[in-house]
């Protein structure tokens, strides 16, 4: 069974895990909103957000799923703590942490479950934008081709745009959609505000696991930029690149990238 099969919305296989991912992403988001509203902007707020969100998520996962392994951006990166785990939760307690520190709304909480190396459930909360999505209840996004005239709305990292953007700009009339944080950019594709989320040059499994799970569950194609399935639960959580788009657009961008 592929990750996309497991992630079909409403799949009973992981519906309870998707509901837990949603509950924990929402509760962590509320905790962070409260922290943001009672602290001054700056690095101390950012670090406190990372630490408090990590502490809450790991405590709750240990209580609710005591037999499962956990990989968190703020936790132990020792691969021995998760190597060979049948069930692995991959969490980014605060994605877009610098925006959180500054006081923007473009940050979120990612909670994903990987079963035997494949995404099985996930949820993304972006509380400042009132957004909460999960892989079991996300509305399917209908496939449709590149807009007439070849216009493509593309969202990329603002601070570290991918070098592959040049090849996409040669093939399409690109309009950049400015968003920070991986979950926020994925939401932009789910909502049709962007056609493509393209990234290269580095990320980690926690940055993209939950966004990819939700995107795949909605019927988007979410892969590495060579079109292959994204691996999860590796000893090294480095996860260099991704491409998320509606299937027809994903195929057109892969072609433009020569993959
Ligand atoms: N080149 C790179 N190397 C490592 N991490 C990167 C990266 N580019 C983006 N990221 C991470 O991906 C997330 C989204 O970044 P961006 O908004 O620039 O697209 C951020 O996660 P965190 O906020 O959890 O650190 C950021 O640190
Ligand atoms: Mg992140």
Tell me: the pLDDT tens digits for 206-248? 999 999 999 999 999 999 999 999 999 999 999 999 999 999 9
Pocket lining: 240 vs ligand 1, CB cutoff 6 Å: no
Per-residue confidence (pLDDT) for residue 67, from 0 to 100? 97
Q: Token digits for 88? A: 């692995």
Pocket lining: 92 vs ligand 1, CB cutoff 6 Å: yes
Per-residue confidence (pLDDT) for residue 8, from 0 to 100? 56
In the chain, domain spans: 3-134, 148-256
**Ligand 1 centroid to 148 CA: how many Å?**
32
Q: Give the residue-averaged pLDDT of 124-139.
A: 97
Which of the ligands is closest to the CA of residue 206?
Answer: 2
Residues shown for the chain: 259
Residue 226, helix vs strand vs coil: coil
Q: What is the CATH number of domain 3-134?
A: 3.30.540.10
Q: Token digits for 119? A: 């995404």
Pocket lining: 160 vs ligand 1, CB cutoff 6 Å: yes
Give residue 149's pLDDT band: very low, low, confident or very high (50, 70, 90).
confident
Check if 3-134 and 148-256 are the same fold. no
Strands 221-223 and 242-245: antiparallel
CATH code 3.40.190.10 for 148-256: no
Q: What DSSP string runs through 156-215?
A: --SSS--TTHHHHHHHSEEEE----SHHHHHHHHHTTS-SEEEE-S--BHHHHHHHHHHH
User: With left for phi above 0 and alpha for psi between -120 and 50, is residue 130 left, alpha or beta?
Assistant: left
**Ligand 2 centroid to 257 CA: how many Å?**
25
Per-residue confidence (pLDDT) for residue 14, from 0 to 100? 85
**Ligand 1 centroid to 66 CA: how many Å?**
29
Quick one: which of 101, 123, 103, 99 has its CA closest to 213? 123
Quick one: which of 39, 54, 53, 51 has its CA closest to 101? 39
**Ligand 1 centroid to 131 CA: how many Å?**
20
Contact, 63 vs 20, CB < 8 A? no
- Residue 245's DSSP bridge partners are 196, 221
Q: What is the mean pLDDT of the chain?
A: 95
Pocket lining: 201 vs ligand 1, CB cutoff 6 Å: yes
| Closest CA to ligand 1's atom 19 | 157
């Amino acid at each position: 069974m592929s990750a996309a099969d497991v992630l079909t919305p409403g799949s009973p296989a992981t519906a309870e895990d998707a509901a837990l991912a949603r509950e924990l992403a929402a509760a962590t988001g509320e905790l962070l909103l409260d922290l943001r509203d009672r602290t001054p902007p700056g690095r101390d707020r950012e670090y406190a957000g990372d630490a408090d969100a990590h502490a809450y998520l790991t405590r709750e996962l240990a209580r609710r799923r005591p037999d499962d392994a956990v990989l968190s951006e703020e936790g132990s990166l020792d691969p021995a703590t998760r190597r060979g785990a049948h069930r692995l939760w991959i969490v980014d307690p605060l994605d877009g942490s610098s925006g959180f520190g500054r006081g923007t709304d473009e940050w979120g909480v990612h909670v994903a479950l990987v079963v035997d190396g494949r995404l099985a459930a996930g949820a993304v909360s972006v509380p400042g934008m009132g957004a909460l999505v999960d892989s079991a209840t996300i509305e399917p996004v209908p496939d449709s081709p590149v807009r007439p005239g070849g216009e493509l709305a593309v969202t990329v990292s603002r601070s570290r745009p991918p070098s592959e953007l040049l090849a996409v700009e040669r093939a399409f009339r690109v309009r950049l959609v400015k968003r920070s944080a991986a979950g926020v950019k994925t939401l932009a594709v789910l909502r049709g505000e962007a056609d493509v989320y393209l990234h290269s040059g580095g990320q980690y499994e926690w940055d993209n696991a939950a966004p990819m799970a939700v995107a795949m569950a909605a019927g988007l194609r979410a892969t590495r930029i060579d079109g292959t399935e994204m691996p999860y639960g590796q000893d090294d959580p480095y996860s260099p690149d991704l491409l998320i788009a509606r299937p027809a657009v994903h195929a057109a961008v892969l072609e433009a990238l020569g993959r």
